[in-house]
Structures are given as C-alpha cells and as structure tokens.
C-alpha cells in the first residue's frame, strides 16, 4: 500500500489533483466558521440543545450536511442539502417530462444541461429552506423577531441579507464541489459531505469519552464497555456496507462482432455482462424516509401560533406519535427506507432503458428474446436483488437506535455510514483508474 501511495505521489498531474482537492476542502472548512451577521451563535446553540426530541432530529439531519456550521450558524449552515434535493427532483422528473428524458440520453452535453437545470432549481430551494429554517428558529425561541422578520419594515433588510447570505453559502459549496470534480479527485459534492461527517467524529468520540468518565467505579467501566461495543458495531456496519455496496449480479450479454481476416470477414460473438447492483439507491432512501417522518414536526412548529386549533392539534399529536422514543417509529422508519429503496431503484432502472439499447446494438441475453422479454427478465432479477438490498438497508437504518444513547444522531448515523463508504470506494476507484491510465500498476493491485 505504501509503495502505491509513493508511486502515486511521483506522478505530477495526479499529485496536483490531490493537492487541489485538499486545498479546496481546507478553504471550505475555513469558510464554515464565518458566522452570519446579526445572529448570536451561543444563544442559538443553547436553545437547540435544550429542545431535544424530534426538533433535535431535524437539526441533526441538517447539521450532518453542514459539518457543524448549523451549531455555529455560519454562512454554510444549510450545507449542500438544497442541491441534493434539487438533484433528486431533477432525477425523478426525467421519466415524467419528455424533454428532460431526452436530455439524459444526449450524453455529456445533455448531462451538462441537466446540471445547469439542477443549479437553477437549487437557488429557489435554498431560499425556501433558509426562510423555513429561520422561521422555525424564531418559533422555538432561538432567534427573536427583531433579528428575523420579513414582514416588518425595520427588519426586512437584515432578514433579506440573512436569506441571501445563507443561499450564497450553499451556492459557494456547489461551486467548490464542481471545481473539485473538474480539477481534483472524486466527486466534489460527495467529498464535501464526507468532510462534514469526518470533522464531527472527533467531537462525537470526545463527548462519549467525557460522558463515560463523568462517573466512577463500575458505571465508568460499563460506559467504556458500551463505547467499545458501539465502535465495534460501527466497524461491523462499515464492513457489511462495503460488501453490499460492491455486491452485484452480473447478467451475461452477447454482442455480435465482425473480424476482417485474410480469408474474408468472419462474424462472431463477444460475451460481456450487465452489472446490476444490490444497493443502487445509496443513501437517498434514508433521506426520503427521514424527511417524511420529520414533516409533522416541521409543520407543527410552523403552526404553533395558528388560530386553527384543529389543524395545530393534529400535527402536534402526529409529532408526539412519531417521536424517536417510540419503538414503532423505528419500525415505520425501517419500512419506509426499504420501500423507497425499491422505488428509487425502479425509477433509475426505467431511465436507463437497457433492454432497448441492447436491441438497437444487436445484443441479447442468452436464452432470452430481445425487446420486452429481455426487459421483463432483467426487471425480475433487479427486484430479487433489490429485495435483499432493501432489507439490509432497513435493518442498518435502525441498528444505531438499538445501542445509541444520543437519539439526536440516530437517524443520521446510517446515512453517514453509507456516505463515508460510498465516497471512499468511489475515490479509490478513481485513483485506481488514474494509476492504470498512466501505465502504472493499480492503486489496490
């Protein structure tokens, strides 16, 4: 491994890509500590930490995408969450809007146009999230009306300034991510989220160690044993996620070939395969499921001062019923994760049109007729392997709740593991490709 790293470092352009990526991530972490003008981070963090329950669950989900910027209320407090939402919306709209579906089939030029549409959608989504996030903080008392009130002439300008600052912070992260993708190593947006998660690990471990040393004797020993058990569970989850992330079903496919020889042209067949992944949805089902379960909490806080007592009471009851302390919350959460895994895998599969592409190229699956029979055959295989991936993802999503004592971070734990595993594997694959492309032995082999 060290020889691979040393040989990789001796390639000038690859070394420059790595240094560029590290510099961009360093700039991102420095900017994350720039506070939003006019907001007191100390009082904000105090209110958030004392609220607990579903509200901390909401802020924990947002904070994992901002790398702790929400606690300090920096200009990057929203992270890249609006961009991720916009990306999911664009991907789900492609089978619905024919023009967008046509763009997805135009190769690199079509993908560039879809990326531009995603950026356009990110701006209004960031504005809406900034307004909703600030309004929620006002409702819970973390921010006063004198600091944020769009409908008051005295505070309208500072409010617009805050909204513009938060939106600009999100777009700045998107810009940094695209720079890393073009000039560095790996996917820039994924690396930014990865950096956000990694910077919180020392703080989490430190908090756990402090809590275990708060009491002496057997209680302290029991706390250390519990901490070691949680770390072991995390390593086991990471290992199983790597295995499932790399697991795939290879469906054999035969392509017709022609070879020109001295005696004439000879036709033949070349056999390859279609890799169908067991988990093709990644972390997206966890985001979908947690967002739906957090919706009653968000609406209940928005309607806290509503005169419609019936609507307010209904959402308050839903918020209490969907609290993390209830065992059925985790059953519903795991079921939604499995359901959305199937849904997202089906949507992505329909967008690829693999059966039609194989038929146009004259390729076929051995023993299966081209066209609709091939589509049905591949879809059955996809459903079978996705069932195993959905069950695994549902179990992993609720596993941290069985041992974790910090309920504010239980929902994001599984998503964080999936992000870290996916980003590391993707980055290693790109480094492997860079090494092989330059006639060196691979990074792993």
Using one digit for the tens of pLDDT, what is the confidence trace for 177-198? 899 988 888 888 888 888 877 7
- Domain boundary among the residues 151, 181, 198 is at 198
pLDDT at position 175 is 92
**Max Cα–Cα distance, the chain, nearest Å:** 89
For range 108-137, the mean pLDDT? 84
Q: Residues 300, 350: one domain?
A: yes
- 104 inside domain: yes
**Residue 178: CA atoms inside 13 Å, Cβ hemisphere, count?**
11
- 267 inside domain: yes
Q: Residues 56, 114: one domain?
A: yes
**Domain harbouring 363, CATH code:** 1.10.3370.10
- Domain boundary among the residues 143, 172, 198 is at 198
pLDDT surpasses 80 at 371: yes
pLDDT at position 274 is 86
Q: Residues 115, 242: one domain?
A: no
pLDDT tens sequence across 16-73: 888 898 999 899 888 888 888 777 666 666 655 555 444 555 566 666 666 556 666 7
Both tokens of 181, joined, read: 């993708």
Q: Residues 131, 247: one domain?
A: no
- 445 inside domain: no
Q: Residues 37, 167: one domain?
A: yes
Closest of 96, 57, 47, 132 to residue 289, by C-alpha = 57
Q: Residues 28, 156: one domain?
A: yes
Radius of gyration of the chain (CA): 25
- 62 inside domain: yes
Question: What phi, psi does 74 have (nearest 5°)?
Answer: -80, 175
Reported confidence tier of residue 411, pLDDT bands at 50, 70, 90: very low
| Of the listed ranges 149-153, 333-337, 358-362, the one predicted with least confidence | 149-153
Q: End-to-end CA distance of the chain, in Å?
A: 9
- Domain boundary among the residues 179, 198, 217 is at 198
More confident residue, 174 or 292: 174
Domain total of the chain: 2
Rounded Cα distance, 335 and 329, in Å: 10
Closest of 300, 222, 342 to residue 57, by C-alpha = 300
Both tokens of 207, joined, read: 């908090």
- 65 inside domain: yes
Q: Residues 3, 128: one domain?
A: yes
Q: Residues 243, 357: one domain?
A: yes
pLDDT surpasses 80 at 209: no
pLDDT at position 78 is 82
For range 217-240, the mean pLDDT? 66
Say if CB 66 and CB 79 are below 8 A apart. yes
Q: Residues 107, 240: one domain?
A: no
More confident residue, 44 or 255: 255
Q: Residues 194, 240: one domain?
A: no
- 220 inside domain: no
Rounded Cα distance, 209 and 220, in Å: 10
pLDDT surpasses 70 at 397: yes
Rounded Cα distance, 334 and 336, in Å: 5
For range 276-298, the mean pLDDT? 76
Reported confidence tier of residue 219, pLDDT bands at 50, 70, 90: very low
Q: Residues 95, 177: one domain?
A: yes
This prediction has a pTM of: 0.75
**Residue 402: CA atoms inside 13 Å, Cβ hemisphere, count?**
12
Rounded Cα distance, 300 and 283, in Å: 27
- 273 inside domain: yes
Could you please report the per-residue DSSP string of 2-50?
HHHHHHHHTSHHHHHHHHHHHHHHHHHHHHTTPBPTT--HHHHHHHHHH
More confident residue, 426 or 115: 115
pLDDT at position 405 is 46
- 306 inside domain: yes
Q: Residues 115, 1: one domain?
A: yes
pLDDT tens sequence across 78-119: 888 888 888 888 877 887 888 887 887 777 788 888 889 999
Identify the domain containing residue 369 by its residue range: 235-403
pLDDT at position 280 is 79
């Amino acid at each position: 491994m060290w020889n691979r790293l040393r040989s990789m470092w001796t390639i000038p352009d690859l070394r420059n890509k790595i240094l560029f990526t590290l510099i961009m991530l360093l700039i991102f972490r420095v900017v994350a500590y720039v506070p939003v003008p006019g907001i007191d981070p100390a009082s904000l963090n105090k209110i958030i930490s004392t609220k607990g329950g579903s509200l901390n669950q909401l802020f924990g989900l947002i904070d994992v995408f901002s790398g702790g910027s929400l606690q300090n209320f920096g200009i990057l407090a929203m992270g890249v969450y609006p961009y991720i939402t916009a990306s999911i919306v664009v991907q789900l709209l492609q089978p619905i809007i024919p023009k967008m579906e046509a763009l997805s089939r135009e190769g690199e030029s079509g993908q560039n146009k879809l990326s531009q549409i995603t950026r356009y959608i990110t701006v209004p989504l960031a504005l809406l999230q900034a307004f909703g996030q600030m309004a929620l903080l006002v409702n819970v008392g973390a921010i006063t009306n004198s600091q944020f009130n769009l409908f008051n002439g005295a505070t309208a300008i500072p409010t617009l300034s805050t909204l513009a600052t938060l939106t600009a912070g999100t777009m700045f992260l998107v810009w940094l991510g695209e720079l890393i993708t073009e000039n560095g190593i790996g996917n820039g947006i994924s690396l930014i989220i990865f950096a956000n998660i990694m910077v919180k690990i020392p703080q989490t471990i430190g908090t756990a160690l402090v809590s275990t040393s708060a009491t002496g004797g057997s209680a302290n020993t029991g706390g250390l044993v519990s901490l070691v058990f949680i770390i072991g569970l995390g390593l086991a989850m990471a290992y199983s996620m790597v295995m499932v992330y790399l697991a795939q079903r290879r469906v054999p496919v035969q392509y017709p070939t022609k070879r020109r020889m001295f005696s004439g042209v000879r036709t033949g067949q070349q056999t390859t395969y279609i890799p169908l992944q067991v988990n093709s949805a990644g972390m997206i089902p966890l985001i979908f499921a947690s967002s739906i379960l957090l919706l009653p909490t968000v609406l209940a806080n928005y309607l806290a001062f509503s005169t419609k007592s019936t609507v307010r009471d209904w959402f308050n009851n839903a918020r209490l019923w969907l609290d993390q302390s209830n065992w059925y919350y985790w059953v519903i959460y795991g079921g939604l994760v499995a359901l959305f895994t199937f849904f997202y895998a089906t949507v992505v599969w329909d967008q690829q049109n693999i059966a039609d592409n194989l038929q146009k190229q004259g390729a076929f699956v051995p023993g299966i007729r081209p066209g609709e029979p091939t589509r049905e055959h591949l879809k059955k295989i996809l459903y079978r392997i996705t069932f195993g991936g959905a069950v695994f993802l549902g179990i992993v999503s609720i596993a941290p709740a069985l041992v974790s004592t910090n309920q504010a971070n239980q929902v994001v734990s599984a998503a964080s593991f999936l992000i870290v595993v996916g980003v590391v594997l993707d980055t290693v694959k790109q480094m492997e490709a860079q090494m092989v492309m330059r006639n060196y032995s691979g990074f792993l082999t």
